[in-house]
Amino acid sequence: MNYLRDLQQNPMIRPSSYWKNTSDNAIIRSFIDQSGSSISQKLEKLLSGGYIVQQIDENLTYDYLHSSENNLWSILYLTGYLTRVPDAEIEFALPIGSTALMIPNAEIREIYESTIMQWFNDYARSWDRNNLFQAAWMEDTDTLTAEMNRLLRQTISYHDYREDFYHAFLAGIFAGAGYMVESNREHGEGRSDIVISDLTNSKIIIFEAKYAKSVSTMEADCEKALEQINTRMYAAEYEDDYDQIICYGIAFYKKRCLVKKAE
């Protein structure tokens, strides 16, 4: 009804998730807060468009929500955040008592993604990032790469590992730690991915991120990112205002990353 109302005012308007903010989606956040490696892998499979196979208890109550992983999936199914996969789309015979589950539609997928993003931002603030920050400002790319990889392994990925996931990952690491974080800022002859500013110490970091197609191309993609920073003059506007400008090219492949520094 909301869409029909808006359509009368604007015949070109596209449908939107009118209902997505009518609740706080606390069930998904609670679910993600409990995530271990098994739950994380299954969430990633769902967000990539696949399905998972679980035992579902349709008589479950909220009292037993966190008593087992199966109960968590049952609650997501009973509250409509997951649905049954049509039999024709199931590739193998399911174990007795099991159900194939998937995310019902794009609207609910969007809720998962936004909830995971907020969870990531909150969770990132609790990580011990001192080694990472020190490595970033000291231009220690080996330690910076190792710390980034450690954090990547702890995250729940989405967007099928597209570049916007990694941009959010980088921004989330530095956000809330006293640094000014800008994403896709327009300057020079283009837009850099992430700019981290330390105003107190007159220092700035520019990250240009690339998504690699394989592990073997990560180093070359780092070099491409550094070349882009140079040719598009991302650092030029900061030269008069900052004492130290550090430029990093970073390549991601799934839950791996490699960091290189401009010489």
Give the residue carrying structure tokens 């589950």: 101
Measured CA to CA in angstroms, residue 20 lies from 15, 108, 114, 150 at distances of 13, 8, 11, 33
pLDDT digits (tens, 9 = 90+) for 31-49: 666 655 677 788 888 888 8
Asked if 16 contacts 73 with a C-beta cutoff of 8 angstroms, the reply is no
For residue 208, what pLDDT is reported? Answer: 92
Tell whether pTM > 0.75: no
Structure tokens at 188: 């020079």
**Distance (Å, whole) CA 235 – CA 261:** 13
Structure tokens at 69: 């992983």
Cite the beta strand spans of the chain per DSSP E: 52-55, 83-84, 98-102, 180-187, 190-198, 203-211, 244-253, 256-261
Query: Which domains does the chain carry?
Result: 2-114 (1.10.10), 126-261 (3.40.1350)
Give the residue carrying structure tokens 């049954």: 84
Which residue ranges of the chain lie beneath pLDDT 70? 17-27, 29-37, 60-67, 117, 120-121, 123-126, 156-163, 176, 185-192
**Distance (Å, whole) CA 52 – CA 46:** 7
